[in-house]
């Protein structure tokens, strides 16, 4: 599936045209901006669903970007909940670009381009956008359960921690989002910003990747990597990417490993409130991952022991493989998806018993042993 269909010609120059399109889409300057919007609007295949909103319409939707409508704030700007009258009062999340944002305009364009062409159940849906003067605003489907980060760390007493299987289901869905970018998009897309705050959760805790402003087109032809300025979020970046700027899909696999470790342990990738040897999650975890007897000590205490012992073993083995120093030794994200599909299943066999039984953390499946084909 090619998502830059609009940039592709029918003749032998296919590759050249595609490349030209890629540059136009990803390098921001005012002269090229118009072309990008024209391309997005040239809905030749009928699969571009994002709308262009007026600034006024989004003011009405968010009660003039009132603080009572604010649901979060990130590096790009503030995010507001809103209702769009023209689409049946649809509930949306409206992200308003900081006018003084350094990288903002470039990231805005990358986000609009990518989400206008790529559609998958594990990528957030871009309802539309507004680009009026210096106002740059993105309008997304509203994700009722906010971000994964909101459900893992510093939980208020009123919030229930995620149970083990929900964590595995979220990990599987997020990995499927990456698999779509790496293996189905053509050219492949390297996400570059895989982290807990960019995994949004709908009302059923289905995960969707958001924030494609840093995404980069992957290597094509014989190339093994793309060279780029190192960007992303400290702690989640693969070591080889951080030191050389050479980016591959395996860099995303490393970031996935970091987030997966956060989900299992309930610890932030960087936590300066901990003792110095525990501040960096990966540095703390790597020696423990070599010793299976230490695994139980790594689990999020909020799970209160409600997890399958073998499931934990296998989950940590997956995390360890994703975090391998040698990028080529890391698994493909597709293999991670397959492994997580098994871990996310609530139907487990108990010992040699033939019957399968639906379990949940509330029912205390911690004492149950999962039987997998190893
Ligand atoms: N589509 C959405 N639906 C509901 N809430 C959202 C949506 N998008 C973002 N949010 C909320 O807004 C918060 C801020 O999101 P944003 O993507 O701007 O920043 P971030 O990911 O936290 O940080 P960074 O800018 O470093 O990526 C999120 O953590 C989430 O709680
Ligand atoms: Mg984000």
pLDDT at 41: 54
The reply to whether ligand 1 has any atom less than 6 angstroms from the CB of 101 is: no
Closest CA to 317 of 345, 346, 285: 285
87, two tokens: 């689409």
Residue 208 or residue 371, greater confidence: 208
Closest CA to 51 of 120, 141, 134, 123: 141
CA 328 to chain centre: 22
**Ligand approaching nearest to the C-alpha of 147:** 1
| 137 and 150 part of one domain | no
Cβ 7 vs Cβ 18: under 8 Å:
yes
- At residue 42 the predicted structure's pLDDT band, cuts being 50, 70 and 90, is low
Q: Which helix (H) or strand (E) holds 166?
A: helix 164-179
Which SS3 state, helix, strand or coil, does residue 291 take?
coil
Binding residues for ATP: 96
Task: Assess whether pLDDT exceeds 90 at residue 186.
Answer: no
Nearest to 142 by CA among 215, 46, 69: 69
Q: Which tokens go with 253? A: 């696999």
**Torsion angle (degrees, nearest 10) of CA 265, 270, 273, 278:** 60
Pick from 85, 108, 141: which residue ends a domain? 141
Q: Which of 115, 141, 167 is the last residue of a domain?
A: 141
Does residue 264 sit within a domain? yes
CA of 198 to the centre of ligand 2 (A): 4
d(CA 127, CA 26): 21
- Asked, for residue 126, whether it belongs to a domain, the answer is yes
pLDDT value at position 172? Answer: 98
Q: What's the mean pLDDT in 58-78?
A: 94
- What span, in angstroms and rounded, lies between the C-alpha atoms of 79 and 60? 15
In a domain, 185, yes or no: yes
Q: Which residue has the tokens 């989640």?
A: 236
State in Å: Cα 317 to ligand 2 middle. Answer: 28
Distance set, CA 162 to CA 143, 152, 166, 230 (Å): 17, 7, 6, 33
Of 92, 82, 79, the C-alpha closest to 59 is 82
pLDDT for residue 30? 38
Cβ of 270 less than 6 Å from ligand 1: no
User: Torsion angle of alpha carbons 294, 195, 178, 163, nearest 10°?
Assistant: 50
Q: pLDDT tens digit string along 187-219?
A: 899 999 999 999 999 999 999 999 988 887 777
Average pLDDT, the chain: 81
Q: How close are the terminal C-alpha atoms of the chain, in Å?
A: 33
Same domain? For 216 and 357 the reply is yes
Rounded to whole angstroms, how far apart are CA atoms 198 and 130? 21
- pLDDT(19) > 60: no
Among residues of the chain, what percentage have pLDDT more than 90? Answer: 60
Instruction: Tell me: do 151 and 75 sit in the same domain.
Output: no
Whole-number Å distance, alpha carbon 16 to ligand 2 midpoint, is 33
* Surrounding residues of ion ligand 2, Cβ less than 5 A: 74, 198, 211
Structure tokens at 6: 């609009």
Q: Which of 29, 88, 134, 193 is catalytic?
A: 193
- Å from CA of 75 to ligand 1 middle: 9
Q: Are residues 199 and 309 in the same domain?
A: yes
Task: Tell me what pLDDT residue 259 has.
Answer: 98
φ, ψ for residue 253, nearest 5 deg: -65, -40
pLDDT tens profile 271-295: 999 999 999 999 999 999 999 999 9
Give the count of domains, the chain.
Answer: 2
Instruction: Give the pLDDT mean for 58-66.
Output: 97
Please identify, by atom number, the ligand 1 atom nearest to the C-alpha of residue 95: 18
Considering the domain architecture, whether residues 178 and 51 belong to the same structural domain is answered as: no
Q: Is the CB of 125 under 6 A from ligand 1?
A: no
Closest CA to 76 of 54, 110, 100, 50: 100
Say which CATH number the domain at 57 has.
3.30.200.20
Residue 197 in contact with ligand 1 by CB distance below 6 A: yes
Does the pLDDT of residue 26 top 50, yes or no?
Answer: no
**Residues 190, 191, 194, 200, Cα dihedral to 10°:** -140
Binding residues: 96
Flag whether pLDDT at 179 surpasses 70: yes
DSSP structure string for 136-195: EEEEEE--TT-BHHHHHSS--TTSPPPPHHHHHHHHHHHHHHHHIIIIISBS-EE-----
Top pLDDT among 324 and 24 is at 324
Residue 136 has pLDDT above 80, yes or no: yes
Q: What is the pLDDT of residue 223?
A: 72
| 108 pLDDT more than 90 | no
| Both structure tokens of 237 | 């970046």
* Higher-confidence position of 126 and 41: 126
**Which has the minimum average pLDDT: 82-91, 143-152, 178-187, 224-233?**
224-233
Residue 193 annotated among the catalytic residues of the structure: yes
Q: Per-residue confidence at 38, pLDDT binned at 50, 70, 90? A: low
Which among 73, 108, 141 is the end of a domain? Answer: 141
CA distance 315 to 324: 15
Lowest mean pLDDT among 34-38, 267-271, 345-349: 34-38
Domain assignment of residue 177, given as a range: 5-10+145-368
Asked if residue 126 has its Cβ within 6 Å of ligand 1, the reply is no
Same domain, 259 and 351: yes
Q: What's the confidence (pLDDT) of residue 12?
A: 31
Q: Give the pLDDT mean for 324-340.
A: 97
Instruction: Clarify whether residues 127 and 157 are in a common domain.
Output: no
Looking at the fold, whether 87 and 149 belong to one and the same domain comes out as no
pLDDT digit string (tens) for 236-270? Answer: 999 998 888 888 999 999 999 999 999 999 999 99
Question: Of the ranges 20-24, 85-89, 90-94, which one carries the lowest mean pLDDT score?
Answer: 20-24
> Do 311 and 292 share a structural domain?
yes
Determine whether the shortest distance from the Cβ of 211 to ligand 1 is under 6 A: yes
Average pLDDT of span 115-125:
93
């Amino acid at each position: 599936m090619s998502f830059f269909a609009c940039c592709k010609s029918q003749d032998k120059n296919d590759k050249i045209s595609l490349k030209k399109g890629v540059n136009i889409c990803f390098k921001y300057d005012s002269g090229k901006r118009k072309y990008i919007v024209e391309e997005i609007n040239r809905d030749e295949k009928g699969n571009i669903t994002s709308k262009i909103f007026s600034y006024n319409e989004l003011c009405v939707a968010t009660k003039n970007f009132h603080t009572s409508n604010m649901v979060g704030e990130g590096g790009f700007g503030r995010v507001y909940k809103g209702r769009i009258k023209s689409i049946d009062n649809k509930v949306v999340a409206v992200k308003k670009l900081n006018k003084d944002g350094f990288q903002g305009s470039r990231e805005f364009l990358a986000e609009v381009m990518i989400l206008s062409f790529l559609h998958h159940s594990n990528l957030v849906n871009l309802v539309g956008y507004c680009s009026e003067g210096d106002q740059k605003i993105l309008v997304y489907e509203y994700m009722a359960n906010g971000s994964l980060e909101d459900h893992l760390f510093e939980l208020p007493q009123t919030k229930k921690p995620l149970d083990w299987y929900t964590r595995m289901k979220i990990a599987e869905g997020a990995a499927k989002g990456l698999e779509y970018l790496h293996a189905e998009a053509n050219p492949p897309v390297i996400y570059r910003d895989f982290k807990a705050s960019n995994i949004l959760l709908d009302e059923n805790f289905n995960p969707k990747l958001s924030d494609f402003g840093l995404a980069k087109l992957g290597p094509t032809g014989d190339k093994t990597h793309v060279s780029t300025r190192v960007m992303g979020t400290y702690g989640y970046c693969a070591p080889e990417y951080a030191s050389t700027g050479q980016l591959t899909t395996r860099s995303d696999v490393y970031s996935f490993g970091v987030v997966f470790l956060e989900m299992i342990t309930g610890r932030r990738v960087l936590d300066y409130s901990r003792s110095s040897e525990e501040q960096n999650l990966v540095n703390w975890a790597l020696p423990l991952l070599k010793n299976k007897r230490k695994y139980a000590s790594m689990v999020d205490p909020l799970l209160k022991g409600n997890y399958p012992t073998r499931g934990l073993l296998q989950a940590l083995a997956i995390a360890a493989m994703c975090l391998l120093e040698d990028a080529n030794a890391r698994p493909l994200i597709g293999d991670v998806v397959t492994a997580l599909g098994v871990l996310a299943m609530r139907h487990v066999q108990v010992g040699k018993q033939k019957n399968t039984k639906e379990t949940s953390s509330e029912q205390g499946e911690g004492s149950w042993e999962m039987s997998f084909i190893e």
